[in-house]
Chain A
Amino acid sequence: MIRNNVIFKSILPALLAATALFSCSPSSEETTLPILGEREAIEKEVDGKTVTDTVYHQIPDFAFVNQDSQKVTNATLAGKIYVADFFFTSCPTICPKMKSQMLRIYEKYKDNPQVMLLSHTIDPKHDTVAVLKEYAERLNVETAKWQFVTGDKDSIYDVAMQYLVPAQEDQTIEGGFTHGGHFVLVDENRHIRGIYDGTKEEAVDKLLSEIPLLLKAQPHAKK
């Protein structure tokens, strides 16, 4: 049991991460995406027998506010797959590139309500609802498809960690924040199914090729 736990807690995730990093693009129809993040093996008694259940890392409940001042929670995204990222509107470094790549996903899945985009600002002090609204309007994107959310600063940084994206305030660097340019692909059970570098066109190509795999695997997916 202890050994099992060690395997599940340390080796397996490492292996999974390695597979995720090094696997080539999926070629066969059966390919499924891994579930990323820590996982735990929980043993329980069922009818007198010991059964092992694997509990996968799941994005916990959250509550933010979007560019239209509406509340956005995990319920807003229920039954959808979505791509999450972290940015701020005045970011001079990687964000324009990230947003131009996110637009590719937006354009490709514009007409598929099954796919949503969720961009969190890590600078809620500056990026108020009004600022996010103007940003979204300038990008000419629909709220129903692409949510720009702000909220309590600590909650945003906490949820970034849950998405496995580093984000930090840092006055010593240009822009005042450091953050990863990751795009995180999340399935309808709020499991992380892929993490991609949102500043690299090739990585986003891979993301675009993996979304259909996930859509196919979703019970509610519509053609």
Chain B
Amino acid sequence: MQKSRFVSGLIGAVALVSLTQCFTQKKNEGERLYAEHCQSCHLEDGKGLRGVIPPIAGADYLENHRNELPCLIRHGIEGSITVNGVEYNQKMPGVETMPEDDITNLLNYIQTNFGNQNRRYTLNEVQDLLNLCPPHQH
């Protein structure tokens, strides 16, 4: 009895450790993807460039346009958009070749870092949203 409790406790602990490890790794993955594909424009602190490149940090856009973000990353965006009350109008290129799981990791990274505390995505959700991308020129 004592022993089995100990064993299940141990299994639980091990599971927890590997789970957190899994999460940390995903976070690192998101961080890496951000550094590779996004940081040159949105900058290390996610604050963007005043008036020219919108922020990721504290951006209301991430919540208000949550469902459009997978397509935004894959195909980019152009035209006038408003983020935290400021208008931006500069073309952002897409990363057409980024696989769905990377997009999921990256989105979860920006939704939960830079002071953001928004809802995460599941891979299924991102896949479904990508199937609904509006027509684009490529």
> A-side interface residues toward B, CB under 8 Å?
90, 92-94, 96-97, 99-100, 103, 135, 137-140
Contacts and interface: CB of A to CB of B under 8 A. Distances in A.
A99 B40 contact: no
Contacts of A90: 91
The B interface, classified by DSSP as helix, strand, loop or mixed, is loop
Interface of B: 40-43, 47-53, 88, 91, 93
Contact of B52 (A92, A94, A99): A99
Given A94-B40, A96-B52, A103-B50, 14 more contacts: A92-B93, A96-B40, A96-B42, A96-B43, A99-B52, A100-B47, A100-B50, A103-B49, A135-B52, A137-B51, A138-B50, A139-B51, A139-B52, A140-B51
B40 A138 contact: no
Interface SS majority for chain A: helix
A47 B48 CA distance: 63
A100 B40 contact: no
A174 to B, nearest CB: 9
A138 B53 CA distance: 10
Contact of A96 (B49, B88, B91, B93): B49
Nearest to B88: A138
A99 B53 CA distance: 11
A135 B50 CA distance: 10
